[in-house]
Structure 1
Amino acid sequence: MMISRRAKNMEPSMTAVVKSKVADYKSRGVDIISMNVGESDFNTPENIKDAGIAAIQANHTRYTPTAGLNQLKEGIAKKLLKENKAVYDKGEICVTTGAKLAVYNTIFAMCDEQDEVIIPTPCYVSYVDMVKLADAKPVLVETDITNGFQLDVAKLEAAVTDRTKVILINNPNNPTGAVYSRESLEALAELAVRKNLYIVSDDVYERFVYDGAEYVCIASLNEEIKKRTVVINGFSKGFNMTGWRIGYAAGPKKIIKTITSLQGHMTSNTNTISQWAACEALVGERETIENMVNEFQNRRDTVYEKLVQLEGVTCQKPEGAFYLFPDVSSYYGKKYESYHINNSNDMVEFLIDFAHVSLIPGSAFRSPSNIRIAYSNSQEMLNEGMDRIEKALKLLK
């Protein structure tokens, strides 16, 4: 057989499917408003770009150690201490080609065949396939929209078996925008210590918190949980560096050493120029980033206020990330012309075709009642997009 079992078991990425459809429409001159993209529309700050250019001009274009530049790892350690109250040294950090690779490397390093990884849902699109590719077993535990998609630690504990090894969380959460409370993280930490489990915490949206919400790094709670946690983070979201492809994992030395060994057989070091740019990101001015976060809060408010006025739509106001995740299941069973809306995939296809607004179906995040709206677009485009959605939904009977 030409294609491996692992590859055949992967599910196609719905985000890629939507992107392909949007690209096809745009190539034909159709005016599509993008509300599907998990990427800020702000540019990389000038000081960071300048640092990348300076690295090229200084001929910093050769290999680095697999785990990354010492200067960068030291900078990350200082950041984790100052901003997150978590103590790490450079031997407990591995720089990776994006935070996504850091998650995958961590799961691959920690899990054996049929080890179980508990994932609260809705969850990031790639988590389940990452676990499957490592020959481990994903165990999905639902969170509830009526509770703001907060962690339900009692439900998580009920899912624990003698094969459970890892609980994988995303805080703030993509797609829900939930920011996990200190109390829920303390309860999760207590569960992990008591049940001899590990936490992998993907915190790549940490800078995007609103309304005074508190982002808490679970590794900062106490030394016991820090010994059982791998913190994943990166520069893509918080510094508008998606194309630079740079993230990192911070955790126990034995796990980080294994992640580094794996990486040595895959990508080797992360792009050297990106590493030097990331060094600048950690120490440079923050006003640009703070202004961006303030603008995202305003955009969230714009979209949320329009969403809650739509008949049949339920939505919690998110405290973080840059997504809203409304429940649109009241429209399932309705139709317009040849379009029958039976699930979130149908809804997204209908809205692209009739409203010319691109979104992501909740099925991609293991939550079939919902759709994901990214407010990573201008206020003008968001207002227009929501008006188009409202008109399209009124067609469904």
Structure 2
Amino acid sequence: MKNRLSHRLQNISYSQTIAMSAKARELKNKGYDIINLSLGEPDFLPPNFVLNAAKKAIDEGYHYYTPVSGYLELRKVICKKFLRDNHLTYTPSQIVVSTGAKQAIMNVLLSLLNKNDEVIIPAPYWVSYLQMVKLCESCPVVIQTTMKNNFKIHPEQLEKAITCKTKLFIFSTPCNPTGSVYSYEELKNLAEIFKKYPKIMILSDEIYEHICYSDKHTTSIAIFSDIHDQVITLNGLSKAFSMTGWRIGYIGAPEWISQSCDKIQGQMTSCANSIAQIAAISALKADPSKIGYMIKEFRKRKNLVFDLIKEINGFQLNQPDGAFYIFPKVSSFFGKKLHGKIIQNADDLSEFLLEKAQVATVSGSAFGDKECLRISYASSNEKIIEAFNRIKKVLK
């Protein structure tokens, strides 16, 4: 039956983060005491003012289709949010609200990419970037980074990767999976390269913007006026507002891009959920300090994880400045026998930890780095402590 499927479908893989989470859930349903540190899903409830806005929207009858790009009021609020938090100027016609940031990304890719176009992606990258590009029958061009450079690319690497086929550059800051955050100066240096290639578009994934631990605020690359019209700024409510299941993502983009995304979305899902859109208005109107308690807790958890991981020999780690993941290098375990099993790579180690420690992590190979693991600390302190005690015990 497989040969009856489309070539584009056969060319992509399942999401390894979702696959590992499903495996952990299946084992938990069978009675195993699994601690799931594989998914990037905050364990907080959405803020009460967001929940109350959704309840009010139900009572007031917001049950019907909205414009494809989202309620006008929501798009106006997103424009104000971009100005307040990112110093970016957009109009409502440049905003498209989608069913999660994933759909927003796919809208952009389908709007821009043709077969065999090249898309530059720094690695480690979010697991779906590569597969989405392949789904468009385009060619991912991966720039490898190192822990020594905090998993960030240099301008020289970027320029070397550009060819006459380059159509798009995709990256995230703060980064999933590494937690790396590009500084103003680093983004400015990349912008200097991009302004020499005005036909190359940039998709800047900023969904973790508020989950940042450095003293400086995160910067949007669209702030540099020379390349502003080359940038699509992506964001959503899943991470900072703990609204993963509400599925609200959005872009700010040049109008020819936003109109294209509206056209594609109109033939796919149409509008995002109407109640979630009303709740999003409440979320985005709020000052970011309203979610400060979550960020403060994530910072504490990051520090806790660093203290715990120091007790485990063989994990090499840098200091992430954002998001809620660590991305340790674990190649020191490769070739070693643990509890009768030889660990050949990060995939093996991730499977080993699930089987022996009953802790779910994700192999770095899913993110473009075969020597690392991604471990989420978007869980309670109790679960984090227990998980690392188990890991320490089985790796002794």
Whether the 8 Å contact between 1:77 and 1:90 is mirrored in structure 2 is yes
Separation of aligned partners in 1, 2:159 and 2:309 = 34
- Matched residue, 1:203: 206
Structure 2: stretches of 5+ with no match in the other structure = none
Residue in structure 1 matched with residue 248 of structure 2 by the alignment: 246
Given that residues 123 and 366 in structure 1 are in contact (C-alpha distance below 8 angstroms), is that contact kept between their aligned partners in structure 2?
Answer: yes
- For 1:301, the aligned partner's letter is N
Cα separation, partners in 2 of 1:267 and 1:46, compared to 1, 3 Å: same
CA drift at 1:221: 2.1
Aligned partner (choices 125, 141, 144) of residue 139 of structure 1: 141
> In the alignment, which residue of structure 2 is the partner of 1:302?
304
CA contact (8 A) 1:313 1:327 kept: yes
State the shift of 1:47 in Å.
Answer: 1.0
User: Is the CA contact (8 Å cut-off) linking 1:308 and 1:315 kept in structure 2?
Assistant: no
Q: Does 1:362 align with 2:364?
A: yes
2:383 counterpart (359, 368, 381) = 381
Worse overlay, 278-287 or 266-275: 278-287
Q: CA offsets, 1:63-85, max 9 Å, x none?
A: 11111100000000000001100
Distance in 1 between the 2:377 and 2:155 partners? 30
AA of the residue aligned to 1:332: F
Note the alpha carbon deviations across 1:162-217, whole angstroms, 9 max, x for none.
10011101111000000011112111111111022211001000010003143001
1:47, 1:284 within 8 Å by CA — same for their partners in 2?
no
Distance 2:19 2:284 in 1: 34
Distance 1:342 1:99, change over 3 A: same
Q: Secondary structure at the match of 2:114?
A: coil
Q: Map 1:265-276 onto structure 2 (within 5 A).
A: 265-276=267-278
Q: What residue number does 1:38 align with? A: 40
Name the residue aligned to 2:113. 111
Match of 2:219 among 198, 216, 221: 216
5+ residue gaps, structure 1, are none
Equivalent residue letter for 1:369: E
Residue identity (%): 39
Cα shift at 1:19:
1.5
Kept in 1, the 8 Å contact 2:338–2:395? The answer is no
Paired position in structure 1 for 2:346: 344
Question: Residue 248 of structure 1 aligns to a residue in which SS?
Answer: strand
Distance 1:144 1:304 in 2: 20
Residue 126 of structure 1 aligns to a residue whose secondary structure is helix
Structure 1 residue 220: Cα displacement:
1.3
CA distance in 2, matches of 1:61, 1:226: 36
**2:311 touches 2:392 (CA, 8 Å); kept in 1?**
no
SS in 2 for 1:194: coil
In 2, Cα distance between the equivalents of 1:381 and 1:225? Answer: 44
Query: Which amino acid in 1 is paired with 2:321?
Result: E
Superposed CA RMSD in Å reads 1.2
Rate the CA distance shift 1:390–1:213 in 2: closer, same or farther, 3 A. Answer: farther
Deviation of the 1:285 alpha carbon: 5.9
CA distance in 2 between partners of 1:151 and 1:234 (Å): 25
Kept after mapping to 2: 8 A contact 1:151/1:184:
no
Question: In structure 1, how many angstroms separate the alpha carbons of the residues matched to 2:287 and 2:154?
Answer: 38
Please point out which of 158, 164, 167 is paired with 2:166: 164
Q: 1:328 aligns with which of 327, 330, 353?
A: 330
User: Partner of 2:283 in structure 1?
Assistant: 281
Contact 1:234 1:246 in 2 (8 A): yes
| Structure-1 separation of matches of 2:76 and 2:103 | 20
Opposite residue 56 of structure 2, the aligned amino acid is: A
Given the superposition, is the C-alpha separation of residues 237 and 94 from structure 1 closer, same or farther in structure 2, using an over 3 Å criterion? Answer: same
Bigger drift between 322-331 and 209-218 goes to 209-218
Superposition deviation, residue 287 in structure 1: 4.7
CA displacement at 1:262 relative to structure 2: 0.4
2:71 corresponds to: 69
What secondary structure is seen at the aligned counterpart in 2 of 1:195?
coil
Residues of 2 paired with 1:272 and 1:62: CA distance? 7
> Counterpart in 1 of 2:50?
48
Alignment match, 1:128: 130
What does residue 98 of structure 1 align with? Answer: 100
Count of residues paired in the alignment: 393
Q: Does the residue aligned with 2:64 lie in a helix, a strand or coil? A: coil
Q: How big is each residue's C-alpha offset from its partner over 1:116-148, in whole Å with a ceiling of 9 and x where there is no partner?
A: 000000000100011111121110001110111
- 2:13 pairs with 1:26: no
How far did 1:44 drift?
0.9
Rate the CA distance shift 1:336–1:98 in 2: closer, same or farther, 3 A: same
1:209/1:319 contact within 8 Å kept: yes
Amino acid at match of 1:76: I
TM-score, structure 2 normalization = 0.97
Superimposed CA distance per residue, residues 347-368 of structure 1 (whole angstroms, 9 cap, x where no aligned partner):
0110011111111110110111
SS of the residue aligned with 1:29?
coil
Query: Structure 1, residues 56-114: CA drift from partner, whole Å, max 9, x if none?
Result: 11111111111110000000000000110000010111001101111111111011111
Does the 8 Å CA contact 1:121/1:143 hold for their aligned counterparts? Answer: yes
